[in-house]
Amino acid sequence: MGTFPEMMLLRICLLAGSGFYDFVKSNVRINNSAIGIIEKCGDSYVDPEKVAELLDMVARHMKMTVDQEDGHQTTAIECMTNTIEHASGNQPSRKCEKKWWFSVYYDTRNNVAKFAFVDTGIGIFESLKRRRFPLFGSIKRSEILKLLLADSTDRNSIKPKDRTSTKLSHRGKGLPNIARRNRLRIISNNVYADVENNQYLMMEQNFSGSIICWKYSTQNHEQHDD
C-alpha cells in the first residue's frame, strides 16, 4: 500500500536510515518502446472521450474487436461514475476531491494490456456508511463487496432498493458491470478483492478511495464483450 510503518523509530531506521530513498528517484530510464506503452489521463468529471482516446491506442495494437474495446470503455466509465457519485459522500465540501486517474499499460512483449483506475474519493465503504446502506455494520465489508459485485441472481439476497448506496432502485448497477473484467482486483478503504480468485480480504490499513485494476490479453477473452 505504500504507507509508512506507524512507529517513528521504524520509519527512521528502516526507511530513512537504510538509504532506501537514495534509490527512489532512479536515474535509470526505461525504454518504453522496448517494454510497453503507457498512457494515462485524469480529471474530476466523467470524460468518455478521453477514455476512448486511450483505449484506441491499445485496441489498435492488440487488434481488439469493437465489442472488446467497448467492454473496457464501459468499465472505465462505470469507475468514473462511481467516483463522481460516491466520492464526496453527501458532503458537498469534499467536491474538490472527486478526482480520478486512469492508465493503460500495453505490454508489447507479452501482448497484454493492464488497466488501472484510481480515485481519491472516500471509498466504497465510507460512502455506504454515510448513506446508511442497510447491510453496513451487520456483515463484514469484504462480504458486502462480494454481494455488490455479484450478478443479479446472487444479488437477490439484497432488496432492489437496498442494492445501491443511494437507496434508489434504479442505481447500483455499475459494480456488477465492472466485475466482468479479467483478473480484476479492487482495493477500496480497507477491503482487498481478487475477484477472479474469489478472495475478499480485510486489510489493516485504510485507503481513502479506490484502486481498480484489470488485465486483458488475447489469450483470455472474456465472455461476450471483452
Partner 1 sequence: MTEQKFTLHVREFTTTPGPRFKEDGHYSGQEFREDYLLPRYLEAVKSGACLHVILKATKGYASSFLEEAFGGLVRQGYKKSEIRKHLKIHSNDRPWYEPEIYSYIDEA
Regarding 119 and contact with partner 1 (CB under 8 A), the answer is: no
Q: Residues 54, 62, 64, 74: which binds partner 1 (CB under 8 A)?
A: 74
The helix (H) or strand (E) run that includes residue 59 is: helix 48-62
Give the integer Cα–Cα distance in Å for 28 and 31. Answer: 10
Number of residues that bind partner 1 (CB under 8 A): 30
Q: Is 66 in the site for partner 1 (CB under 8 A)?
A: yes
Contact between 43 and 81 (Cβ < 8 Å): no
103 interacts with partner 1 by CB under 8 A: no
In the bound state with partner 1, the residue whose beta carbon lies nearer, of 73 and 120, is 73
Q: Is 85 in the site for partner 1 (CB under 8 A)?
A: yes
Q: At 156, is the secondary structure helix, strand, or coil?
A: helix
Distances from the Cα of 175 to the Cα of 57, 65, 155, angstroms: 25, 23, 12
Which three-class secondary structure state does DSSP give residue 128? helix
> Out of 177, 190, 206, 217, which residue is the one contacting partner 1 (CB under 8 A)?
177
The answer to whether 67 contacts partner 1 (rule: CB under 8 A) is: yes
Q: Are 177 and 222 in contact (CB under 8 A)?
A: no
Which residue in the set 60, 132, 159, 170 belongs to the binding site for partner 1 (CB under 8 A)?
A: 170
- Name which position in 121, 123, 174, 209 contacts partner 1 (CB under 8 A): 174
Cβ-based nearer residue to partner 1, 71 or 123: 71
Q: Binding to partner 1 by residue 84, rule CB under 8 A?
A: yes
Q: Which is nearer to partner 1, 77 or 113 (CB)?
A: 77
At 141 the three-state DSSP class reads helix
Cβ distance to partner 1 smaller for residue 192 or 214: 214
List CB contacts of 212: < 8 A, sequence separation 6 or more: 79, 116, 117, 118, 178, 184, 185, 186
Cell matching residue 142: 469484504
121 part of the interface to partner 1, by CB under 8 A:
no
Q: Which amino acid is at 108?
A: T
Q: How far is CA 67 from CA 5, 24, 63, 70, in A?
A: 45, 40, 11, 5
Residue 77 half-sphere exposure toward CB, CA atoms < 13 A: 15
- 49 touching partner 1, by CB under 8 A: yes
Report the nearest approach of partner 1 to the CB of residue 76 (Å).
Answer: 9
Least distance in angstroms from the C-beta of 103 to partner 1: 18
Instruction: Choose which of 18, 32, 81, 91 interacts with partner 1 (CB under 8 A).
Output: 81
Q: Which residues bind partner 1 (CB under 8 A)?
A: 45-49, 51-52, 66-67, 69-74, 77-78, 80-81, 84-85, 160, 169-171, 173-174, 177, 224-225
